[in-house]
Structure 1
Amino acid sequence: MKVTASPFDNSFVYSCVSKEQWGHEQFIPEHVLAFQISGETSIYNQQGTFVLKKNRILLARRNQFAKTQKLPGSDPEYKAVSIILKTEDLRKFAALNNIICDKGYNGKSNIVLKPDTFLKSYFQSLIPYLEKPDSSNERMIFSKVSEAIELLLNIYPECKKFLFDFNEPHKIDLKNFMLNHYRYNAPIENFARLTGRSLAAFKRDFTEIFQISPAKWLKEKRLEEAHQLIHQENKKPSEIYLELGFENLSHFYTSFKSKYGMTPTESLITKNK
């Protein structure tokens, strides 16, 4: 596996893998513009599932949970280049270009685009930044990010609200949100952010609703579903641990045994006797 990124908070990221692999991050804090060079990416998010195919571009909105699966497919390797459109850079670009968005964005969180000649050439121009990240500086990075924004606005003017809506998530129903999103492996701070609360307010509201701390509830909820999937759907531990938000198989085994007195594999064998 080869991954190259710039030193400025990963403004540009290059991913290359030779076999199927799950992405590590499950929370998107900033807008992302990604070009699928080869292979494809399966994306599982709050709205459903879709596939980013070869030679397509994804514009993903900030503040959302998403699981990604990198698939080489018929290509020798999976390759993708991503640009992190940080809020601070977008604010700077908006100020320099007198861009004001009075209305919030209410459209899709993920938009798939077919790249034109300009965008294809743009991603090719990122190669030096990816191969020699230490040779670039902050102004060069911002210049390239600004170029990406200009190209997006040129071929897809409707994305203005998408890019320049700087409003944070508003306060929403915490119980309903948690029951629908507990499978995502993310810090508690991100759950608080997406429900429109400070960390302290989130913990307070959560405890009032569930009568348990967020961390303990997430662990228990995931283990209960794991037990159900193993016993009712005959699922193997290796098939479900990532889906349920566990960091690795070892952590899943340890947690499961602590709660049920046996490992997931032992539980599956006992069930099938």
Structure 2
Amino acid sequence: MDDVIEVLFDKLVYSCYFEKQRAHEQFIGEHFLGFQICGETHTQYAGGSKEMSANMVVLAKRNQLIRTTKYPSKEGEYQFVSIILDQAALKQYALEHKIVIDKPCTDAKVIFFEPDIFFKSFFLSLIPYIDKAKKATPKLADLKIREAIELLLQSNPDFKYLLFDFTEPYKIDLEEFMHQNYMFNVPIASFAKLTARSLSAFKRDFEKIFKTSPRQWLRNRRLDEAYYLIKHKKKKPTDIYLELGFENLSHFYSSFKHKFGMTTSEI
């Protein structure tokens, strides 16, 4: 059976794999709520990492980078379903329920928790759409998003600070941000957006701080970390090159030798 990534309706995405999927980066533009049906998702994000097993729920805040590696279960299958909680739906909900928050969200950007019976029932209710036993209309999709919001607030009222924080990102400390996120292999434009800058402003501010271009700095920062991990932590290049943002092993080897004048095996 082929691997499947399917958008079942506007805000619901279902993933099904039958062999390990290599780590890849995702830009999370909207809040999303996900449920691991079977298999595991190993997640890396700024400030932490988590191995998400079957029957776990994740709530991820918008505007961040996440890297995931997907592993099928012992039975040979991986299934994950997520529902997007977009700003338009959340603003409408907040308006109707007169929800106003008095402080921005400062909690963790990625929250993992065990679902109660209500959450399990909610995700199980999505199975007919996955199995194509029932077609979802836009109205049904809207109801499912509202149900997800209700369940989150019932499980933890403080989730309102994450869900209903509509403040736009402000310019953040660029140096600190880059040292926390340099390993993510995403376009420079994504780094710019995450720091609340236009691409031109990002490049201008970056060169003022680091005295070099973003691409050059990223390559050197990743290689410096690779040197440290190989020499002092005895890591193998094959185990770290993807985690450090290199697309393939041959590019990593050639870049390493060009910077340090020796191969990884000569250290």
d(CA) in 2 for partners of 1:197, 1:22: 30
Question: What is the one-letter code of the residue matched to 1:121?
Answer: S
TM-score by length of 2: 0.85
Conservation of the 8 A alpha-carbon contact between 1:174 and 1:195: yes
Preserved CA contact (<8 Å) 1:6 1:13: yes
Question: 8 Å contact 1:38–1:75 — kept in the other structure?
Answer: no
Cα shift readout 1:124-177 (whole Å, capped 9, x = no counterpart) = 221233344994343332222112112222222221111110123332221122
State the shift of 1:185 in Å: 1.4
Shift of 1:245: 0.9
Task: State yes or no: 1:85 paired with 2:85.
Answer: yes
Corresponding position of 2:70: 70
Question: Would you say the 8 A contact 2:9–2:141 is kept in 1?
Answer: no
47-56 or 158-167: bigger deviation: 47-56
Counterpart residue identity of residue 34, structure 1: G
| Divergent runs of 4+, >6 A | none
Per the alignment, residue 237 of structure 1 pairs with 237
Native 8 Å contact 2:25 2:184 kept in 1: no
Residues 96 and 251 of structure 1: is their aligned pair in 2 closer, same or farther, counting only changes over 3 Å? Answer: farther
Q: What is aligned with 1:268?
A: 264
Gaps of 5+ in 1: none
Map Cα deviations across residues 18-47 of structure 1 (whole Å, 9 max, x no partner): 333344333322212111112222222222
Gaps of 5+ in 2: none
Counterpart of 2:97, as a letter, is: N
Residue 97 of structure 2 corresponds to which residue in structure 1?
97
Distance 1:188 1:129 in 2: 37
Q: Which residue of 1 aligns with 2:8?
A: 6
Q: How many Å apart are 1:188 and its aligned residue?
A: 1.8
Deviation sequence 1:42-63 (CA, Å, 0-9, x none): 2222222223232121111122
Separation in 1 of the partners of 2:144 and 2:234?
50
Q: Judge conservation of contact 1:6–1:134 (CA < 8 Å) in 2.
A: no
Contact 1:4–1:131 (Cα < 8 Å) also in 2:
no
SS in 1 for 2:88: helix
Change (3 A) 1:197 1:118: same
Kept after mapping to 2: 8 A contact 1:7/1:134: no
Does residue 53 of structure 1 match 2:53?
yes
Identity among equivalent positions (%) equals 48
1:28-47 equivalence runs, <5 A: 28-47=28-47
Q: Secondary structure at the match of 2:190?
A: helix
Within the alignment, does 1:145 sit opposite 2:141 as a pair? no
Q: Secondary structure at the residue paired with 1:24?
A: strand
TM-score of the pair, normalised by structure 1: 0.83
Deviates more, 1:129-138 or 1:168-177: 129-138
In the alignment of these two chains, the number of paired residues is: 265
